[in-house]
Amino acid sequence: MPLARAIEATRRYGANLALDGVTLDIPEGGVVGMLGPNGAGKSTLISLLVGLRRPTSGRVELFGGDPRDPACRREIGVTPQETGLPSTLRVHECVAFVAAHYADPVPTGDLLDRFGLADLARRQTGGLSGGEKRRLAVALAFVGRPRLVFLDEPTTGLDVRARRALWDTIRDFGRAHTVVLTSHYLEEIEALADRVVVLGQGRVLADDTVASIRGMVGIHRVSLTAPDLPDLPNVVGLERVDGRTSLFTADADQLVRDLVHAGVPFHGLQVQPTTLEEAFLTLTGR
Ligand SMILES: Nc1ncnc2c1ncn2[C@@H]1O[C@H](COP(=O)(O)OP(=O)(O)OP(=O)(O)O)[C@@H](O)[C@H]1O
């Protein structure tokens, strides 16, 4: 049985369709990265899986039950995108407060050590830097030894060093837990995840290994102005906007050679890497 699943899950906010028929299984073990641009539906999907919201249609399950049933949520840990920490509590008090809700929590000292927070144990959370607060917020998701952890953009706002340090810790915990994390950054997903689910406009655009997603996003946009184009090999997508044509290809060099070879009288040639979203929209033909 998967730890969590969504079956044709749709979520609307008024007229806005935030999730559009998402089907997804989260089996036990490993780190699943959910990648997608702003507004793709990542946080909405997490909010359904952790029982904060209901799907408008379709189903979600957590440990085989309804995520809105508190008994099903006992074994999850969650760090939302934004967290408010009580500003006058000290770091160790914050951890102890969360730990008090669990029968067998990770000892506070151990947790603070593993998240590099030991030196800050006696500091009030109101005096922590943004990065330190984020680290504490992520640490709190692991206090209760959850089987399944959801981290919504765990390293947003961290500098490069702090981000890498938190990656190490998450990777370390990922060996003993199942972790679902969202990110805008392919680099972050590559560093942490075994499997990548790409969301765009509320739909699952790809669900594959990191390596194969990496291959898919090596797509370039070759844009030009030309009267007519012959059939060209290696073109996976084509778009015409305001008299300019964009060709999507995995081998931009060869495409340019083919254009010259075919004698196409083009001008204003530009070659750009596509954004993740463009690459996936092209590959999925949407
Ligand atoms: N409470 C809400 N009321 C109305 N619309 C919402 C609400 N929450 C999310 N949305 C809309 O649903 C869509 C998906 O939002 P969601 O926050 O799930 O995306 P996301 O992938 O997590 O984005 P980000 O990376 O910016 O956090 C967006 O169009 C957003 O504006």
Q: Identify which of 211, 213, 256, 266 has the alpha carbon closest to the alpha carbon of residue 233.
A: 256
Is residue 40 within 6 Å of ligand 1 at its C-beta? yes
pLDDT digits (tens, 9 = 90+) for 214-236: 777 678 899 999 988 999 988 98
Q: What is the pTM assigned to this prediction?
A: 0.81
Give the model's confidence band at 278: pLDDT under 50 very low, under 70 low, under 90 confident, else very high.
low
Check if CATH label 3.40.50.300 holds for domain 4-216. yes
Asked whether 272 lines ligand 1 (CB < 6 A), one says no
The predicted pLDDT at position 284 comes to 58
Q: Which residues pair with 222 in a beta bridge?
A: 247, 271
8 A C-beta contact, residue 151 and residue 181: yes
**At which residue do the structure tokens 């994390």 appear?**
181
Asked whether 18 lines ligand 1 (CB < 6 A), one says yes
ipTM: 0.95
pLDDT in tens, 60-89: 999 999 999 999 999 999 999 888 899 999
pLDDT at residue 275 tops 80? no
Q: Cβ neighbours of residue 58 under 8 Å, at least 6 residues apart?
A: 6, 7, 8, 9, 10, 21, 22
How far apart, in Å, are the Cα atoms of 231 and each of 85, 228, 236?
A: 59, 10, 12
Cβ pair 145, 198 in contact under 8 A: no
Backbone angles phi, psi at 268, to 5 degrees: 65, 40
Among residues of the chain, what percentage have pLDDT more than 70?
Answer: 95
CATH 3.40.50.300 residue spans of the chain: 4-216
**Residue 282, pLDDT score:** 65
Ligand 1 centroid–CA 38 distance in Å is 8
In the chain the beta strands, taken as DSSP E runs, fall at 4-13, 16-26, 30-35, 57-62, 76-79, 148-152, 178-183, 195-200, 203-209, 220-225, 235-241, 244-249, 267-273
The closest alpha carbon to 81, from 163, 189, 155, belongs to 155
The two tokens of residue 212 are: 């194969």
CA distance linking residue 98 with residue 144, whole number of Å: 8
**Ligand 1 pocket: which of 20, 34, 44 to mutate (most atoms <8 Å of CB)?**
44
Q: Quick check: CB of 13 below 6 Å from ligand 1?
A: yes
